[in-house]
Copies of this chain bind each other. A is one copy, B any other.
Amino acid sequence: MNSIEQIINEEIRVVENGSITTPAGFFAGGLHCGIKRKKLDLGWLYSVVPATAACVYTTNQFQAPPLIVTKEGIEKSQKIQGVIVNSGIANACTGNQGLSNAYEMRKLFAEQMNIQEYLVAVSSTGVIGEQLPMEKIKSGISEIGDIQRQNDPSEFEKAILTTDTFSKHVCVQLQIDGKTVTIGGTAKGSGMIHPNMATMLGFITTDAVVKEADLQIALKQVVDKTFNMITVDGDTSTNDMVLLLANQQANHQELSILHPQWQLFMEGLEMVCRSLAKQIAKDGEGATKLIEVQVQGASSCEDAKKVAKSIIGSNLVKTAVFGEDPNWGRIIAAIGYSGAQLNPEHLKVRLGPFTVIEKGLPFPFSEAEAKHYLQQNEVIQIFADLYCGGGKATAWGCDLTYDYVKINASYRT
């Protein structure tokens, strides 16, 4: 992970091997309950006290039952103490039966933990349109007992995966009012990834003390710059969400947008979300390379986002990166159809260290060296300067490969 993460603020420290249970008062684990054939498929997360909760959800109009249930719970008290997640079946497009299964799953975990039902968030990911095997889930939940002894965040990280090839985690620490605040996170998702919450689940924990309303503002702002700036295939799923829990164990003065160190907390949160977003993009189905597109000089941040997403979403750019072909024509075409305001006579484009377009025209570069850059690096950077204003944005994605086709042509068989 750290190879693709840059430290921007020296006051923020990356915790090696840190996770969602590094912040004080969080426990997590995962087990196999039988939805999948062999792999872990049921994960749980627990806070010693009800944590202030913020959540962002998919914009897909078909929202799956677990989302409806989780949303309802958070709206009741803005607090969550436990999270139960299954992978393998998404419990989406499952009608009334699916909704009552989601409620049932929440109730089972609440009873097992001896907490109120509305303090439990429920989440499911996997195939759409199948009902959950409730007997298996019930039996799995009944195995969750001694949270201290069973605590193993790496098992939670594994239990939420579908077609991911590696589990994802990150953890940072910073000082607020002289107290150490820790922020940890994990996420899953590698197909159906696109701006606005795709087949993606993100769970972020912190022991910070944060004012409820401001926690939601913080999460929304940061998600817009991170998770919503990745795309694997342009598809947006029915199930997905990022949940942020702050359980107040760090014992500093309450953070709010008025606190002098609010910005530091925001940067720590952004670092966690950016790292997870990049890990997801890097693990895009079939991907061999992470692509990072940085756009500047746009007439607005919205325009910068349009251009960045247009480039990162282009199947032709993605296949060119896979083919290690410095085919800048496809980049310029993607900029041209982005819909953003352009200044064609001033446009500048770089592929890694190589300027390929200057003042809107091809700029001489060594094809051999550019090809070498594409061959030798796992992270490919594309920069575009539109010379229209001060708007900036960064987006992440991955190459489009034979394996993407293979994985998705045979997902259910």
Contacts and interface: CB of A to CB of B under 8 A. Distances in A.
B409 A405 contact: no
A217 interface: no
Contact of A192 (B236, B333, B406): B333
A400 interface: yes
A169 to B, nearest CB: 27
A196 B406 CA distance: 30
Contacts of A234: 234, 313-315
A171 interface: no
A90 B327 CA distance: 14
Contacts of A330: 128, 235
A212 interface: no
Nearest to A341: B61
A320 interface: yes
Contacts of A23: none
Interface stretch (A31-39, A176-184, A266-274, A354-362): A354-362
A61 B233 contact: no
Contacts of A95: 360-361
A333 B411 contact: no
A402 interface: yes
Given A313-B234, A361-B93, A411 B337 contact: no
A204 interface: no
Interface string A182-217: 000000000110101000000000000000000000
Given A315-B315, A316-B191, A333-B192, A409 B235 contact: no
A353 interface: no
B405 A329 contact: no
Nearest to A321: B409
B316 A192 contact: yes
A319 B408 contact: yes
A328 interface: yes
Interface string A401-413: 1101110111111
B325 A412 contact: yes
Contacts of A384: none
A322 interface: yes
A129 interface: yes
Given A405-B401, A409-B322, A61 B344 contact: yes
Contacts of A59: 337
A325 B411 contact: yes
A233 B408 CA distance: 16
A231 to B, nearest CB: 10
Interface in A375-413: 400-402, 404-406, 408-413
Which among A92, A129, A313, A342 has the greatest number of chain B C-beta atoms within 10 A?
A: A129
Given A61-B337, A62-B332, 15 more contacts: A61-B344, A62-B342, A62-B344, A90-B329, A93-B357, A94-B362, A129-B328, A191-B316, A196-B337, A234-B315, A238-B336, A316-B408, A319-B408, A322-B405, A325-B413
